[in-house]
């Protein structure tokens, strides 16, 4: 079946397509109409809107034709690729083609993983698929360690263990070591940590049915950092990077963790559970301690962590936090280079004390709806307790833009993949 040709024009559409029409059609070809007066981001936004329109036509595929920049092709492709029965894309035969193919492969991996059903994607399956893809890309440069089920309790990874023990399917801490030099003494240039909650019922602090419907996406952090590492590898990453995925199902059972429980972490911090639906920070705490043990000068964690971040930034920006302001500014610049806007929210050391407990060093949240005011910053403050080197070089990404329950004017329903390019850029510059 033939594909629809898509080209760009800087002239207005013929009058029959309506005033200020963004797209017109003629004999197997779609023309996107832009204005030379538009800023670059406005042009990319208009292209994305047309991508959603073309996707709604259930085409077999599209073929780029004429003059396109790399970012213009990417804007259309990322908005065009729907979750189910996605149409094929034929890139321009240009110098940008290989880069776009690599980027698209990482995007498809990340989106498909996020969009998988929670029944199919158990914690162990999430770990396996991540390892399989990275091994396919990097071969013998990848080595792997798994800590599964009761092994987590024995090793002291209390966050992942307790969040995941309510499920019959065991939780996992996955460590992937990408070491292209194969020198076992090579320094670790960066460490990545991903929240991998394959389904989040909220536990005993149970979500509503509507709130639970999209919780297959709660492993979006794990998918994003894995997609970013894979993209960086395809782009020529020649530094050692370690990846830690904190994988669990947060379910209710006679063996599930409860409100009022107190967890004692490996670093001695005690945490009272006041909300079992604030589980992401509990598993990330283990991952951040494991990442800190590598002495990597750059640690990036990513997680679909708080509704407060979504309320603050909407679904277009990811929120970012750091105690290291120069590192934060560098990451913002790296993300902007890749047209992945992020927005910094407040984080200071005193945010560590925003979730007080009379029974432990801290609670895992505040006993208020949504964690109360400043919930995203308070969650970041909790995480900062588990990062070494006083937070130097640590970036926390709250993935507000990771998932859309239904299609938007710019993005299809499901995982977005937003974040993989900025994190990959940070790895390449580490």
Q: How much is the CA Rg of the chain, to the nearest whole Å?
A: 22
Q: Are 237 and 423 in contact (CB under 8 A)?
A: no
H/E stretch holding 145 reads: strand 142-148
Residues 6 or more apart in contact with residue 204 via CB below 8 angstroms: 252, 256, 258, 259, 276
User: Catalytic: 281?
Assistant: yes
H/E stretch holding 381 reads: helix 375-384
* Residue 421 backbone phi and psi in degrees, to 5: -70, -45
Active-site residue, from 281, 354, 385, 421: 281
Q: Are 26 and 55 in contact (CB under 8 A)?
A: no
- DSSP for 382-408, please give it: HHHTT-SGGGTTEEEEE-TTSEESS--
How many angstroms separate the most distant Cα atoms in the chain? 72
Distance CA 276, CA 365 (A): 9
The helix, strand and coil proportions of the chain, stated in percent and rounded to the nearest 5, come to 40, 20, 40
CA–CA–CA angle 275, 279, 285 (5° rounding): 120
Active-site residue, from 29, 97, 128, 207: 207
Q: Are 170 and 124 in contact (CB under 8 A)?
A: yes
Residues 6 or more apart in contact with residue 375 via CB below 8 angstroms: 306, 307, 308, 365, 366
Q: Which residues carry out catalysis?
A: 207, 281
């Amino acid at each position: 079946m033939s594909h629809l040709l898509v080209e760009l024009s800087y002239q207005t559409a013929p009058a029959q397509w309506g005033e200020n029409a963004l797209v017109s059609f003629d004999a197997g070809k779609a023309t996107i109409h832009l204005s030379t007066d538009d800023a670059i981001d406005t042009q990319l936004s208009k292209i994305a809107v047309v991508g959603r329109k073309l996707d709604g036509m259930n085409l077999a595929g599209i073929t780029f034709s004429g003059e396109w920049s790399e970012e213009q092709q990417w804007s259309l492709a990322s908005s065009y690729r729907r979750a189910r029965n996605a149409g094929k894309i034929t890139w321009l035969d240009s110098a940008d083609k290989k880069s776009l193919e690599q980027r698209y492969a990482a995007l498809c991996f990340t989106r498909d993983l996020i969009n998988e059903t929670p029944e199919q994607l158990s914690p162990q399956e999430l770990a396996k698929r991540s390892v399989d893809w990275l091994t396919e890309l990097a071969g013998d440069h990848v080595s792997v360690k798994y800590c599964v089920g009761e092994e987590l309790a024995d090793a002291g990874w209390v966050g992942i263990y307790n969040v995941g023990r309510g499920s019959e399917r065991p939780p996992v801490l996955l460590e992937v070591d990408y070491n292209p030099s194969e020198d076992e003494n090579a320094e670790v240039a960066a460490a990545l940590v991903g929240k991998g909650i394959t389904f989040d019922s909220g536990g005993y602090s149970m979500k509503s049915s509507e709130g639970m419907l999209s919780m297959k996406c709660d492993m979006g952090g794990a998918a994003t950092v894995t997609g970013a590492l894979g993209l960086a590898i395809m782009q020529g990453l020649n530094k050692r990077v370690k990846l830690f995925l904190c994988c669990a199902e947060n379910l209710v059972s006679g063996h599930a963790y409860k409100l009022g429980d107190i967890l004692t972490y490996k670093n001695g911090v005690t945490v009272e559970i006041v909300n079992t639906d604030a589980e992401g920070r509990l598993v990330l705490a283990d991952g951040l301690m494991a990442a800190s043990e590598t002495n990597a000068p750059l640690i990036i964690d990513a997680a679909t962590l708080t509704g407060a971040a979504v309320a603050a930034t909407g679904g277009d920006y990811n929120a970012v936090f750091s105690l290291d302001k120069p590192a934060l500014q560098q990451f913002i610049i790296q993300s902007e280079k890749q047209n992945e806007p992020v927005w910094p929210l407040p984080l200071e050391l005193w945010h560590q004390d925003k979730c007080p407990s009379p029974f432990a060093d801290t609670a895992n949240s505040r006993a208020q709806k949504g964690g109360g005011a400043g919930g995203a910053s308070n969650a970041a403050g909790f995480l900062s307790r588990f990062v070494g080197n006083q937070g130097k070089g640590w970036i926390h990404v709250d993935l507000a833009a990771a998932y859309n329950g239904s299609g938007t004017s710019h993005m299809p329903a499901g995982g977005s993949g937003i974040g993989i390019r900025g994190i990959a850029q940070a790895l390449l510059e580490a």
